[in-house]
Amino acid sequence: MNFNYKNEFGYIRIEYIIGVFFLIRLIGITSAPLEVAHNWRQVTGLMVARNFFEIDPSLWFPRVDETNGVSGIIGMEFPLLNYLHYLISLIFDYQHWYGRLINLMVSSVGIYFFFKLIKERLNEKTAYYSSLFLLGSIWFIYSRKMMPDTFSMSLGFVGLYYAWKYLYEATLKNYCLFFLFISLAFLSKISAVMCIIGFPFLINNFQLNKSRIHLILGLCISLLITYLWYFLWNPHLAETYGSWYNSGTTIVNGISELSLNLPETFKRFYFGSFHSFIAFSVLVFSIGFCFFKKEYKMLLFLLSASLLFVLYMAKSGAIFYIHGYYIIPIVPVFAILIGNFMATIKNKYIALSIVVLFLVESIANQQHDLFTKDSEKYKLELESIASKLVDKNDLVAINGNGNPQELYLSHRKGFVLNNEDLKNELKLKSIKSKGCKYIIVNKHQFKDNLNYKKIFKNEHYVIYEIED
């Protein structure tokens, strides 16, 4: 059997490269969420998936383990990724790594559709280089986390591809696939609304016809459904069940917060987007190239994407530079600009050398995420310890300092405290009145003793019984 592993330009086909990147990111895929980068965000999603499995599989009422004495039902992005995790758990029993694998699979397919769409609208070389830079960008690590950021954008790429297909082959199949995937993209993470920037560039002119009207109507319905979920249903859940819902900040306040820390804000662009100074240098050169060659359509694409993204940044405020993954929605736009320039380099060895240098730098800066530090593995003992001392239905408090990671790993529900809370008698009485029976103290975070009955102690944890 003769495998054609090269494309018409003599490069390795993008399908094989996506496959290689898929295999690389399988390293440590079954690891618990112990990596430093945003383990808290992952365990929040894992709590929802596990509670679908153990308590209630209703999509409309996602719940976390940080219940604070109530139900734990929260407003959040539409829990599609979490629900897929739950469905696999029905077959194979619950494991924390299913969500990682689902995201990796969907994100890999998403990049393939990203490639196909750019190939159709621009050319294969631009699509090829754009996909390579996207593969090595911040997507490299976040496409293997239990987080919906690259997951949602990937669904958006599929939706955009079928939107383009519908424009030239107006079948019910193409329309349904467009509507399904673009709706799920927006619902899975509202930041995927960035995909709407791609719609005007699917066409060569702005004359309305039947197919285009259908697409506009479908897009409007998708946006309406997204609005209902995020701005009506989620606040309703927060108000009804008492859990905090992050709806962002005001535009003015967000701009103020960003301006107070411009170095970190800019860092998300010049380093966080690709984890590579080489890539950012090529991006700057690519933008300059567009001006020099008077590629106004590409510049309009960048401008429109930037305006929407600045609005997203302003709505996010300080969270934008605190959490590295907030840059993800704009990275595909940057990758397309880079691919557009790279495709003009006539000497393929020079072009591929730039790609290789970028990938070496980027992966070197991200490879640590594939592995778990030995210093974090003691946390995996928590569930075993808790199962011997704490009834499954008893509420506990853990000094996670805002991070629910250890609450998830204990497989118990309750409260996440700051270290200062452990010294605050009023706070401790408050959680006790809400049903908390035990306090689990991470000794690496808090070394003082509490004035409660000590029922367990080792080098990492102390457990206190606080019920009368």
How is residue 318 annotated by DSSP? T
d(CA 405, CA 256): 31
| Averaged pLDDT, groups of 10, the chain, 468 residues long | 74 94 96 88 96 96 93 94 98 96 98 97 95 98 96 98 94 97 97 93 80 94 97 93 79 93 94 96 96 94 94 93 94 98 94 96 95 94 95 95 95 96 94 96 95 94 90
Contact 334, 342 (CB under 8 A): no
Contact 420, 378 (CB under 8 A): no
Q: Give the integer Cα–Cα distance in Å for 181 and 187.
A: 10
The first and second tokens of residue 191, run together, are 């930041």
261-309 pLDDT, tens digit each: 999 999 999 999 999 999 999 999 999 999 999 999 999 999 999 999 9
Residue 76: CB atoms within 10 A of its CB come to 23
The long-range contacts involving 368-373, CB below 8 angstroms and separated by at least 24 positions, are 368/35, 369/35, 369/37, 369/141, 369/144, 370/24, 370/25, 370/27, 370/28, 371/27, 371/28, 371/31, 371/35, 372/28, 372/31, 372/32, 372/34, 372/35, 373/34, 373/36
Two structure tokens written together for 258: 């960003």
Q: Which residues pair with 456 in a beta bridge?
A: 463
401: left (phi over 0), alpha (psi -120 to 50) or beta: left
165 burial type by CB count under 10 A (0-12 exposed, 13-18 middle, 19+ buried): buried
pTM value is 0.94
What letter represents residue 152's amino acid? S
The helix (H) or strand (E) run that includes residue 455 is strand 453-457
pLDDT in tens, 176-192: 999 999 999 999 999 99
Paired residues of 464 in beta bridges? 439, 454
